[in-house]
Amino acid sequence: MLAASISGCLFALLMYPQDNSYTKRQITESIPIVVQEQSSDISNSAPPELGLFWKEQKVAKGDSLSLLFQRANLSATDVYRVSSSKSGKSLRNLFPGEIFRFGIDTQGQLEELHYIKSPLESLIFTHNNGTYSAQKHLRDPEILLSYRQGVIADSLYLSAKKANLPDKVIMELANIFGWDIDFVFDIRPGDSFSLLFEDRYIDGEKLSSGNIMAASFTNRGKTYQAVRYQNSKGLSNYYTPEGLSMRKAFLRTPLDIFRISSGFNLRRKHPIHKKIKAHRGVDYAAPRGTPVYAAGDGKVIATGYTKANGNYVFIQHGQTYVTKYLHLNNKKVRKGQTVRQRQLVGTVGSTGYATGPHLHYEFLVNGVHRNPRTVKLPQALPIAQTEKQAFTRRTAPVLAQLAEYQAATRLASTQGDNASAN
Ligand SMILES: [Zn+2]
């Protein structure tokens, strides 16, 4: 009963840091919000000059500058004057959804043209003695941290969706923990996650979600934690709170898990091979065409086709390790080629001895087959000694914040349980 009430308890909270200490404001040029006569979801513009009549046109597919000017009842001469001005060439590549605001005076003269490329970027053309000069306006979004947590009920993807996580953030979450957790085989109902990630806002409207700043994943009772850190060279990576890299030499799952796990049944078995004997790898049932990735950096030592293996790719990693990928639909690498971790090496198929599309994956240590799911892998690298101090200073507050939210929602859920028990 308890387990059921916890797994049914998904929190999706949006909280703002109260002291705004996290809020990044790097506005290069502060532009007041403009309330236009026409309501628009994009309000990025300079204040309209008084006494002008404003017309707005949204760029549609196939639109040209001439068409936009025509629809605003402006002439070919106007088009020419604007497009031949110094900044005119930035009007050559228009994209659907961009907005033009035409500020026209009582004589029909185009006094101002606001070319709004996005909520963050616009170009303002101003009339001056028959020519136009332009000024670029850039805005930086306000970045706020959002907290989410969830309990796995079905797949990571579906449970994360229920916790109101954007797709991009779900992918990043899986990438961060993909070195430690096999999201196909190791995930269990009751596993849980919580995370803090950036949301970008402009004028109170959400633009998009950004990076995960800290996250925690509990898989079969074991908790993994990760925190993002940007080093002094500007490179960002994820580390454990102790400063060990989350990135390891090998991925746990060498394929795109989201192609399998959206409808993935946790208890499903995979009777894939006709011949069970001498089965020395792991089989990942996946739709045909699912991308297969190199588990680690290495060199392709063999590719080809045999009746048993179907299309195959073998990769050597340093002196010690070899990984093998069988039954591929397509091979995407050649023998002798150097590959990077997570590089596409082929796609899932059912070539060779296979009753259905799946990836057969083998992991060899010094020529001996090992279970890729349990084999002890090379240790992760610690953060550089020179970065250690800065790392601790900058990541501790984020981790503390994550812990605070976790505790707050635990409390809320306990109180909720008590309430429902009464
Ligand atoms: Zn197999």
- Report the distance separating Cα 274 and Cα 385, nearest Å: 52
Task: Please indicate, yes or no, whether residues 240 and 150 belong to a single structural domain of this protein.
Answer: yes
Q: What is the number of alpha carbons within 13 Å of residue 376 lying toward its C-beta?
A: 1
Give the number of other Cβ atoms within 10 Å of residue 53's Cβ. Answer: 13
Are 222 and 191 in the same domain?
A: yes
Q: Which residues surround ligand 1, an ion (CB under 5 A)?
A: 281, 283, 360
**CA nearest neighbour of 247 among 258, 236, 259:** 236
pLDDT > 70 in the chain, percent: 82
Does residue 61 lie within any of the structural domains?
Answer: yes
Residue where one domain finishes, among candidates 138, 158, 177: 138
Number of domains in the chain: 3
Q: Are residues 303 and 334 in the same domain?
A: yes
Residue 227 burial class via C-beta count within 10 angstroms: exposed 0-12, middle 13-18, buried 19 and up: buried
User: Is 291 strand, coil or helix?
Assistant: strand
Q: Are strands 291-293 and 321-331 parallel, antiparallel or unpaired?
A: unpaired
CA of 98 to the centre of ligand 1 (A): 51
3-state SS class at 146: strand
Q: Is 417 helix (H, G, I), strand (E, B) or coil?
A: helix
* Category of 18 on φ-ψ map: left (φ > 0), alpha (ψ -120 to 50) or beta: alpha
Same domain, 277 and 300: yes
Beta strands in 259-350 (DSSP E): 282-285, 291-293, 298-306, 310-317, 321-331, 338-339, 344-348
Q: From the CA of 142, how far away is ligand 1's center (Å)?
A: 49
- Residue type at position 244: L
Residue 414, pLDDT score: 76
- 220 falls within a domain: yes
Q: Do residues 91 and 131 both lie within one domain?
A: yes
> What CA–CA distance (Å, rounded) separates 231 from 351?
45
333 CA to centre of ligand 1 in angstroms? 21
Domain end call among 121, 138, 155: 138
278 CA distance to ligand 1 middle (Å) = 9
Domain boundary among 84, 113, 138: 138
What is the CATH classification number for the domain harbouring 359? 2.70.70.10
**Residue 253, domain member (yes or no):** no
Q: How far is the CA of 150 from the centre of ligand 1 (A)?
A: 33
Give φ, ψ of 100 to 5 degrees: -110, 130
- Which residue positions in the chain have pLDDT lower than 50? 1-45, 261-277, 419-422
In a shared domain, residues 190 and 338: no
Residue 33: inside a domain:
no
133 and 146 fall within a common domain? no
> Is residue 236 helix, strand or coil?
strand
Domain shared by 305 and 399, yes or no: no
What distance in angstroms lies between residue 359's CA and the mean position of ligand 1's atoms? 7
Instruction: List the CATH number of the domain containing 232.
Output: 3.10.450.350
Is 378 within the bounds of a domain? no
* Residue 30: inside a domain: no
Q: Are residues 146 and 89 in the same domain?
A: no
Conformational region of residue 300, where left means phi above 0, alpha means psi within -120 to 50, and beta covers everything else: beta
* 221 Cα–ligand 1 center, Å: 28
What span, in angstroms and rounded, lies between the C-alpha atoms of 140 and 274?
Answer: 58
Structural domain containing residue 113: 53-138
Q: Return d(Cα 194, Cα 264) in angstroms, integer.
A: 21
Res 416: pLDDT: 62
Q: How high is the pLDDT of residue 49?
A: 58
Residues 147 and 119 in one domain: no
The pTM (predicted TM-score) of the whole model is: 0.71
Same domain as 18, residue 146: yes
Spatial distance between the Cα atoms of 329 and 319, rounded to a whole number of angstroms: 29
Q: Is residue 132 part of a domain?
A: yes
Residues 262 and 365 in one domain: yes
Backbone φ and ψ for 329, nearest 5 degrees, come out as -75, -50
Q: Which two tokens stand for residue 388?
A: 């250690």
CA angle, corner 358, sides to 353 and 360, nearest 5?
70
Decide: residue 228, CB within 10 A, 0-12 exposed, 13-18 middle, 19+ buried.
buried
Residue 45 lies in a domain: no
